[in-house]
Structure 1
């Protein structure tokens, strides 16, 4: 007999593979992470929209000459079109420097339920500098 067949003959009832409990635990972990991804996906899609609008605003000509109210209205119109619900005027900060440059920042948090009374909180801070 060769060594391989001897190894199996010593332990004829030895089994290989995953048990049902192991499979259930692996499926539960996959389900948990899939649930987190499903809950976070819309939040990040909305964030990509916010970043896109902020960058598009920075590329426009004459933004530094606009008043703060005009900038707020422009951003709010764009956010309304893309159904951005988590950014309000309180989350938009405009700083005008003495050299004529401007910094527009958007800082906000999104809270979404995870499991039971446990929530997931995602914080975003985005800014552009205009010369």
Structure 2
């Protein structure tokens, strides 16, 4: 019984430490979707789109995502926004976890410049 409690305790501790990381990821996805569907996004350049995302990240207190993690690619009239980043979290004792996140969203652009 004690062994079962120890295993459950470790699992609970790890879950508690990873929960905020995954909540931030779902907020990042929401921000990306919101920006991709915002009015006038089709005519924005790279810096304009990044500014919109960056402001929303700041409002939601999501740190650690920089412009280096953001990519924008336009092919024809289709634009793809991608955010790729990693988060390292201390789990227990001398064990750390490294989580990699990658999310892309597409929208129709009005110009072919990216």
In the TM superposition, what are the counterparts of 1:1-131 in structure 2 within 5 Å? 23-97=1-75, 99-131=76-108
Instruction: Show structure 1 runs of 5+ residues with no match.
Output: 1-22
RMSD: 1.0
1:55 counterpart SS class: helix
Normalising by structure 2, we get a TM-score of 0.90
SS at the partner of 2:62? Answer: coil
Contact kept in structure 1, 2:85 and 2:102, CA below 8 Å: yes
3-state DSSP of counterpart to 1:94: strand
> Per-residue deviation at 1:64?
2.1
Residues of 1 paired with 2:17 and 2:36: CA distance? 30
Point out 4+ residue stretches in structure 1 off by more than 6 angstroms: none
Taking structure 1 as the reference length, the TM-score comes to 0.79
Query: How many corresponding residue pairs?
Result: 108
Whether contact under 8 Å (2:29, 2:103) holds in the other structure is: yes
In the alignment, which residue of structure 1 is the partner of 2:111?
A: none
Query: Which residue number in structure 2 is paired with residue 17 of structure 1?
Result: none
Unaligned runs of 5+ in 2: 109-114
Name the larger-Rg structure. Answer: 1
Higher strand proportion, which one?
A: 2
